[in-house]
Amino acid sequence: MNKHNPLSKSGSLLERAAQVYDYVPVAGHQSVHSSAPEILPPEQGYQQVVPAAPRAPVYEGPRVIVDREKLRDAGFIVPDGPVTGISEEFRIIKRQLLLAARGNQKQAPLQHGERILICSAHPDEGKTFCALNLALSIAAEKDNEVLLVDADFAKPSILSSLGLEGSRGLMDALADPDLPVEDCIIHTDIEGLTILPAGDQTNHDTEYLASSRTEQVLNRLTQHNPNRIVIFDSPPALSASPASVLATHVGQVLMIVKADETTETALRDALSLMAGCEHIQLLLNGTKFSPTGRRFGSYYGYGE
């Protein structure tokens, strides 16, 4: 050993480092001399093993087929289709929402940030169009999957937009304590996309949503699947009372504002009803002019 260098010149790098830092090998690990680099299995090394996040069981049941032609004709994102202006816009939108939901090294995730409510002040401002496109965009993620919930109980339209038939849904699970909400989820042939229909309409939709059972049901949607993002297609805030109650159960609200149609007064009134959620963002829909000249999709040859 060199008197100026506390590391011995013999033995592996770990053995020589142990002489200086007084490392104690994990029980059962025997040091060996070898001229080849020594690679230790995780359970025998000096680093603490971090358990992997629990994975949801792989669904192996039947899957319904989504009508791609119907999506294309209605202007929605088509899974595995070409890059378009719409698909690029929603890539940017989802990135901000996923960051708030999952957090990163600079910011903690929002409480219930994985629950995102899509709303608007009035009907026909594009909330379902945005909710479905956002769900289709998130479904393409490698580390997340998405559950799209049709929470517009009076006028559900998610299933018809996808070319699917009606089924039991969220309201049925809220009304019937013996019905597991998991049994109402529809698994599609689009990888990463599942649907929870609205279910049968009642005269007490708002009261069911305000009950303590609602939080229990919503927790079941993610408790066995930590990678799931839940998107709610809400009724218009100024047209139906369930929207304001749903806002108390989510971590993020995306308020759709239609260009040249949504008035400032209507927007302010709608936002006041969403006060149950602290994290609200606005999405301008239907604009045909960008002051910066931004036209996503044209780089790929699609200048829509």
Asked if residue 170 has pLDDT above 70, the reply is: yes
Rounded distance, CA 22 to CA 24, Å? 6
Say yes or no to pLDDT of 27 above 50.
Answer: no
Residue 182 has pLDDT above 50, yes or no: yes
Beta-carbon contacts of 210 under 8 Å, excluding residues fewer than 6 positions away, are 245
Mean pLDDT across 4-10: 50
Say what the pLDDT of residue 289 is. Answer: 54
Q: Using one digit for the tens of pLDDT, what is the confidence trace for 104-126?
A: 999 999 999 999 999 999 999 99
Q: State the pLDDT confidence band at 287, using cuts at 50, 70 and 90.
A: confident
- Judge whether residue 133 has pLDDT over 70: yes
- pLDDT at residue 290 in the model: 56
Is residue 250's pLDDT more than 70? Answer: yes
**CA angle, corner 145, sides to 143 and 149, nearest 5?**
155
According to the model, what pLDDT value does residue 34 have?
Answer: 37
For residue 202, give Cα distances in angstroms to 69, 148, 303.
33, 21, 45
Q: Is the pLDDT of residue 134 over 90?
A: yes
Mean pLDDT of 228-246: 97
Q: What is the pTM of this model?
A: 0.78
**Spatial distance between the Cα atoms of 196 and 184, rounded to a whole number of angstroms:** 6
Question: Residue 224: what pLDDT?
Answer: 86
Mean pLDDT over the full length of the chain: 83
- Residue identified by tokens 């994985």 is 114
- Quick one: average pLDDT of 260-269? 96
**What pLDDT, on the 0 to 100 scale, is given for residue 61?**
78
What domains are defined for the chain?
1-51 (no CATH), 68-300 (3.40.50.300)
Q: Which of 150, 146, 42 is nearest to 90 (CA)?
A: 146
54: confidence class by pLDDT, cuts 50, 70, 90: low
